[in-house]
Chain A
């Protein structure tokens, strides 16, 4: 009897602990700080505080104020708020909150670091937004994805990965999530830039931002550096819309077979050189020992170093595989234009290079046609039985 009572009290305590679980917080990018070895504990704490001042917390997001850029033109605080905070769905008519934690955080993590609770069980690992690098987009390498690019990924999902389609969400919910992903990416990029700045410029005892009032002039200078960095990150996102690669019309006059034949020549030729990584049979087995940029950050080729990063929360490194083009599963989308962008611009964050300038748009279209024909091309010539095996009938 007494024991049951104690157990009941225990359960109550546990339940209460659950209710009072700590406020959600953004994780510090310890892996990147470790790479830039020159960041001290107090500098890391300083960075966290600056980021809270600029970007708020997962429950109460904010956007930074900048003198030369209207940040609300890049990310809308009003819209992204619907995605922030804990999941709230008490009343169907009230504006909902917590969309990101409801739909995304279990894989991408509250911080957008791609380390949610389910992340380590997935292959490929979920995207870590904090580099600002996204693979499937219309802009060239170095450009940020456009609003439409992010929306396409949310609506269509990523075939061949754990990323599902969110087509069933309401339009304003989708919009809010796109804004929130941008917000997390920008916040992560700013954090990385601060870490880099500290490593490159500051002495161990210096902070990125001192307590105001200590030395007003110094603080003013520090604020200017902080704003410069933030501004640089945000302007990349502001410019994205104008950077989408134009896609000239497909040379429709060509007959399809000729186009595929030409594409095949290019695929195996030394100009496009696709065969080197995608392999002689396009099964994606030509170059299987490379890594993506997220993984390269943890020195995957040196196991003893990689272990240090894994201890800080990074996932065990995995090789990146060139796409098996015979499956007909295209992560960045299966429309011809999607494949055109992949070939023309390359895939940022991966070893996939951009097409050389000598390849004109017609040639790229021929490659697109060949790639799209691959799942239907016979891998081998079926053997036809010769007269030897024919049953003799009289």
Chain B
């Protein structure tokens, strides 16, 4: 055991040392990165959801468990979140000018047909989240943030509210509805625009990153950090779901098909 006194002395070190973070050296120019997450096995069938509230309305929509959505045609895994990983001390990069026009945009997150649409909402700290209820039944939207204050407002039928999140969240935050317990969504809040979520084919693209070396982090609701992928028969471990890339000016780095093993997706 480290002596209490030594530790205490360390804690009292009111260090104002300016620790410059030299982690991300930004070169001139901009480049993109893309890839596709593919389920390395037979696509699982999503089970039906037991609708036990507002059956007469919510029961009409043939709701399915969406915690793992695999495309039956091309095995692409949807809703995998890929974002720029920055250490606690790293400043976010200056965004490419193409992101300016969306800097204060509204991001739609809707209670629609007794599910959240989209399942994963991507929000920048400068943007506004518009939480809407398109249904004829009442919902409430419970967002259990960590860095921001958690919220749990009622969203009456046919109405919407606007909500800002001024601090970035390290991990995707769970969104739920207390009235309809099956409803689950995720909110990603970042202080930069460099994040993406895979589409129904498992594909993602992060455009116009500053050229240079970056670390990306990959997360999915059922696997947590995506800790390993297989590419060209070779398995690569991604500690805490992180991997490094070099972005080159004017180029799109295509990572190709990244195979993810079914064993990553289990109840946590």
Question: Which A residues contact B (CB, under 8 angstroms)?
Answer: 37-38, 45, 49-50, 52-54, 64-65, 67, 140-143, 196, 200-201, 203, 209, 211-212, 217, 219-228, 270-273, 276-277, 287, 289-290, 293, 299, 302, 304-305, 346, 348, 351-358
B87 at the interface (CB under 8 A from A): yes
In the complex, the answer to whether B15 meets A220 with C-beta atoms within 8 Å is: yes
In the complex, the answer to whether A196 meets B146 with C-beta atoms within 8 Å is: yes
Report the bound CA distance from A52 to B179 in whole Å: 42
Contact with A along B132-150 (1 / 0, CB 8 A): 0000111010101110111
Query: Which of B13, B140, B181 meets A220, CB within 8 Å?
Result: B13
In the complex, the answer to whether B170 meets A293 with C-beta atoms within 8 Å is: no
In the complex, the answer to whether B149 meets A140 with C-beta atoms within 8 Å is: yes
Q: From residue B10, how far is it (CB to closest CB) to chain A in Å?
A: 4
In the complex, the answer to whether A65 meets B178 with C-beta atoms within 8 Å is: no
Q: In the assembled complex, which residues on chain A have CB atoms less than 8 Å from the CB atom of B152?
A: 141, 346, 348, 351-354
Q: From residue A273, how far is it (CB to closest CB) to chain B in Å?
A: 4
Q: List 10 extra interface pairs beyond A220-B17, A221-B15, CB under 8 A.
A: A54-B11, A142-B151, A223-B15, A225-B88, A228-B88, A273-B138, A273-B154, A348-B150, A352-B178, A354-B152
Closest residue of B by beta carbon distance from A353: B140
Question: Which B residues contact A (CB, under 8 angstroms)?
Answer: 1-2, 4, 6-17, 19, 52-54, 87-89, 136-138, 140, 142, 144-146, 148-157, 159, 161, 170-171, 178-179, 181, 224, 239-240, 267-268
In the complex, the answer to whether A356 meets B161 with C-beta atoms within 8 Å is: yes
In the complex, the answer to whether A356 meets B150 with C-beta atoms within 8 Å is: no
In the complex, the answer to whether A354 meets B153 with C-beta atoms within 8 Å is: yes
In the complex, the answer to whether B6 meets A351 with C-beta atoms within 8 Å is: no
In the complex, the answer to whether B144 meets A201 with C-beta atoms within 8 Å is: no
Q: A141-B151, A346-B152 are in contact. Are A277 and B178 (CB under 8 A)?
A: yes
Q: In the assembled complex, which residues on chain B have CB atoms less than 8 Å from the CB atom of A209?
A: 7, 10-11
Q: Is the interface of A mostly helix, strand, loop or mixed?
A: loop
In the complex, the answer to whether A141 meets B11 with C-beta atoms within 8 Å is: no
In the complex, the answer to whether B154 meets A293 with C-beta atoms within 8 Å is: no
Q: In the assembled complex, which residues on chain A have CB atoms less than 8 Å from the CB atom of B151?
A: 141-142, 354
Q: From residue A366, how far is it (CB to closest CB) to chain B in Å?
A: 16
Query: Which of B10, B155, B170 meets A356, CB within 8 Å?
Result: B155
In the complex, the answer to whether A302 meets B156 with C-beta atoms within 8 Å is: no
In the complex, the answer to whether B154 meets A299 with C-beta atoms within 8 Å is: no
In the complex, the answer to whether B4 meets A67 with C-beta atoms within 8 Å is: no
In the complex, the answer to whether A64 meets B11 with C-beta atoms within 8 Å is: yes
Q: Is the interface of B mostly helix, strand, loop or mixed?
A: loop
Query: Which of A200, A302, A356 meets B154, CB within 8 Å?
Result: A356
Q: In the assembled complex, which residues on chain B have CB atoms less than 8 Å from the CB atom of A289?
A: 52, 181
In the complex, the answer to whether A276 meets B8 with C-beta atoms within 8 Å is: no
Q: In the assembled complex, which residues on chain A have CB atoms less than 8 Å from the CB atom of B2?
A: 49, 211
Closest residue of A by beta carbon distance from B267: A302
In the complex, the answer to whether B4 meets A49 with C-beta atoms within 8 Å is: yes
Closest residue of B by beta carbon distance from A350: B178
In the complex, the answer to whether A353 meets B142 with C-beta atoms within 8 Å is: yes
Report the bound CA distance from A302 to B67 in whole Å: 14
In the complex, the answer to whether B181 meets A200 with C-beta atoms within 8 Å is: no
Report the bound CA distance from A304 to B268 in whole Å: 10
Q: From residue B197, how far is it (CB to closest CB) to chain A in Å?
A: 19
Q: In the assembled complex, which residues on chain A have CB atoms less than 8 Å from the CB atom of B53?
A: 276, 287
In the complex, the answer to whether B4 meets A355 with C-beta atoms within 8 Å is: no
In the complex, the answer to whether A200 meets B17 with C-beta atoms within 8 Å is: no
Report the bound CA distance from A299 to B267 in whole Å: 9
In the complex, the answer to whether B17 meets A293 with C-beta atoms within 8 Å is: no
Query: Which of A143, A219, A226, A273 meets B179, CB within 8 Å?
Result: A273
Q: From residue A63, how far is it (CB to closest CB) to chain B in Å?
A: 12
Q: A38-B240, A273-B138, A276-B179 are in contact. Are A219 and B10 (CB under 8 A)?
A: yes
In the complex, the answer to whether B9 meets A200 with C-beta atoms within 8 Å is: no
Query: Which of A67, A203, A270 meets B156, CB within 8 Å?
Result: A270
Q: A223-B15, A353-B140 are in contact. Are A271 and B154 (CB under 8 A)?
A: yes
In the complex, the answer to whether A270 meets B179 with C-beta atoms within 8 Å is: no
In the complex, the answer to whether B154 meets A53 with C-beta atoms within 8 Å is: no
Q: In the assembled complex, which residues on chain B have CB atoms less than 8 Å from the CB atom of A219?
A: 10, 13
29 contacts between A and B (CB under 8 A): A50-B7, A53-B8, A53-B10, A64-B11, A65-B14, A67-B16, A140-B149, A142-B148, A196-B146, A201-B87, A212-B7, A212-B10, A217-B19, A220-B19, A270-B136, A270-B156, A272-B156, A273-B140, A273-B154, A276-B54, A289-B181, A299-B267, A304-B267, A351-B178, A353-B140, A353-B153, A353-B154, A355-B154, A356-B156
In the complex, the answer to whether A353 meets B6 with C-beta atoms within 8 Å is: no
Query: Which of B10, B136, B178 meets A353, CB within 8 Å?
Result: B178
Report the bound CA distance from A67 to B154 in whole Å: 40
In the complex, the answer to whether B137 meets A351 with C-beta atoms within 8 Å is: no
Kindly name the residue among B10, B54, B159 whose own CB sees the greatest number of chain A CB atoms within 10 A: B10
In the complex, the answer to whether B11 meets A226 with C-beta atoms within 8 Å is: yes
Q: From residue B69, how far is it (CB to closest CB) to chain A in Å?
A: 20
Report the bound CA distance from A49 to B152 in whole Å: 36
Q: In the assembled complex, which residues on chain A have CB atoms less than 8 Å from the CB atom of B155?
A: 356
In the complex, the answer to whether A276 meets B181 with C-beta atoms within 8 Å is: no
Q: In the assembled complex, which residues on chain B have CB atoms less than 8 Å from the CB atom of A271?
A: 138, 154, 156
Kindly name the residue among B4, B89, B140, B144 whose own CB sees the greatest number of chain A CB atoms within 10 A: B140
